[in-house]
């Protein structure tokens, strides 16, 4: 048995190739906290957290500090195969800080996969599908004409599903959705994300006005805390409803299920605390007839690969996933996953199949 002897962290910063605009504002750079967990025999696993402070309240510096000063002590000397026990121990030591635990969880899964010589999707239950399709996820809030042009550009690159950011002004949002539908035609799937931008009543009116443009679903139309409002929206409209900011834990999943508030769970590992906790959420969703979609917080190839392995292993993850981080950033650190057209090519190499292109640790 090879025990964990070290945990190292690094923060890397990547430029975003296309500025992203949402109800939270816009940003042009993304920071990533990379974790390396090493065992006595020299085998190591890599994990990533690309924190979004407006989701979990954790900055990159905070994530690094929490791992270096608190969570590392939980792992040193332990058996890396005891992933559930280690995650529970981290929860007991620090109840929140999901983004920090996400990087640790990812590194543990990568490490154990390498120790066993198998890909991570096999650790998570094996393949439920042979391949993954990606959605173009960041047609950001802008004028209808600019959103139309951006959407058309993604379709020309081969994408068949587009995600439009809305939620600031209902009238402009409706005009933008109309413009995009007109530009891409009826065969392209469109999903829209309000990022908590509406009240329940406004969300209902917007949904009824855009129903003729056949959106796949509306993501987080109301504030995260307003589960009753989200359920009211779902009962009142004919468009499926997805949760993102309302969903962090299995306990949140149970609240949403009991309220009959959603049709789709948006999975961000920086919110769930990693792959293992997200799998528990997916199990609850499967029992409730709810689909799961992985949403990337603009990760490097490392975090994208971990998300792809997870999506391969989940029976109720049949939608196009939002795993396009490497298309948005200048990632000079990792290689091992490819996005060709709208398809993700997942490696069968041990762990998540990602290797370092340059010396990071």
Residue 218, C-beta contacts closer than 8 angstroms, at least 6 positions apart: 191, 192, 193, 194, 203, 206, 207, 233, 237, 239, 240, 241, 242
Active site residue 268: yes
Which two structure tokens, joined as six digits, stand for 163?
């995600």
8-state DSSP, 352: T
Residue 186: φ, ψ to 5°: -80, -15
Residue 4: φ, ψ to 5°: -75, 130
Report d(CA 276, CA 102) in Å as an integer: 9
- Of 165, 186, 208, 212, the active-site residue reads 165
Report d(CA 310, CA 102) in Å as an integer: 13
CA gyration radius, the chain: 20
- Of 101, 268, 271, 279, the active-site residue reads 268
User: Are 50 and 299 in contact, with CB atoms under 8 Å apart?
Assistant: yes
DSSP bridge pairs for 39: 4
Which two structure tokens, joined as six digits, stand for 8?
């190292």
Active site residue 64: no
Report d(CA 142, CA 147) in Å as an integer: 6
The helix/strand/coil state of 318 is: coil
SS3 content of the chain, % helix, strand, coil (to 5): 40, 25, 35
C-alpha torsion angle, residues 325, 273, 319, 256 (rounded to 10) = -140
Question: Any idea which residue has 């490819």 for tokens?
Answer: 338
User: Are 80 and 115 in contact, with CB atoms under 8 Å apart?
Assistant: yes
Q: Which residues are catalytic?
A: 165, 268
């Amino acid at each position: 048995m090879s025990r964990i002897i070290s945990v190292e962290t690094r923060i890397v910063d990547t430029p975003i190739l296309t500025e992203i605009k949402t109800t939270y504002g816009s940003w042009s750079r993304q920071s990533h906290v990379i974790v390396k967990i090493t065992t006595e025999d020299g085998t190591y696993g890599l994990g990533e957290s690309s924190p979004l402070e407006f989701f979990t309240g954790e900055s990159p510096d905070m994530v690094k500090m929490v791992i270096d000063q608190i969570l590392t002590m939980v792992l040193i000397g332990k058996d890396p195969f005891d992933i559930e026990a280690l995650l529970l121990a981290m929860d007991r030591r620090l109840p929140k800080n999901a983004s920090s635990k996400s990087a640790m969880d990812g590194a543990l899964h990568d490490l154990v996969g390498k120790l066993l010589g198998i890909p991570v999707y096999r650790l998570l239950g094996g393949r439920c599908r042979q391949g993954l399709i990606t959605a173009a996820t960041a047609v950001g809030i802008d004028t209808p004409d600019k959103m139309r042009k951006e959407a058309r550009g993604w379709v020309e690159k081969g994408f068949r599903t587009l995600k439009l950011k809305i939620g600031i002004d209902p009238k402009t949002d409706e005009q933008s959705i109309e413009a995009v539908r007109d530009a891409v035609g009826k065969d392209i799937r469109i999903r829209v994300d309000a990022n908590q931008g509406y009240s329940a009543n406004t969300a209902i009116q917007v949904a009824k006005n855009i129903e003729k443009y056949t959106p796949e679903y509306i993501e987080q139309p109301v504030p995260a805390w307003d589960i009753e409002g989200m359920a009211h929206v779902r009962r009142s409209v004919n468009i499926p409803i997805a949760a993102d900011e309302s969903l962090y834990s299995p306990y949140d999943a149970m609240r949403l299920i009991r309220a009959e508030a959603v049709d789709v769970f948006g999975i961000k590992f920086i919110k769930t605390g990693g792959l293992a906790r997200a799998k528990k959420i997916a199990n609850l969703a499967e029992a409730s007839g709810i689909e799961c979609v992985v949403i990337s917080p603009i990760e490097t190839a490392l975090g994208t690969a971990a998300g792809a392995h997870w999506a391969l292993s989940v029976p109720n993850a049949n939608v196009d996933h939002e795993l396009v981080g490497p298309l948005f950033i200048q990632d000079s650190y990792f290689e091992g996953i490819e996005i060709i057209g709208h398809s993700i090519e997942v490696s069968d190499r041990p762990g998540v199949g990602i290797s370092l292109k340059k010396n990071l640790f």
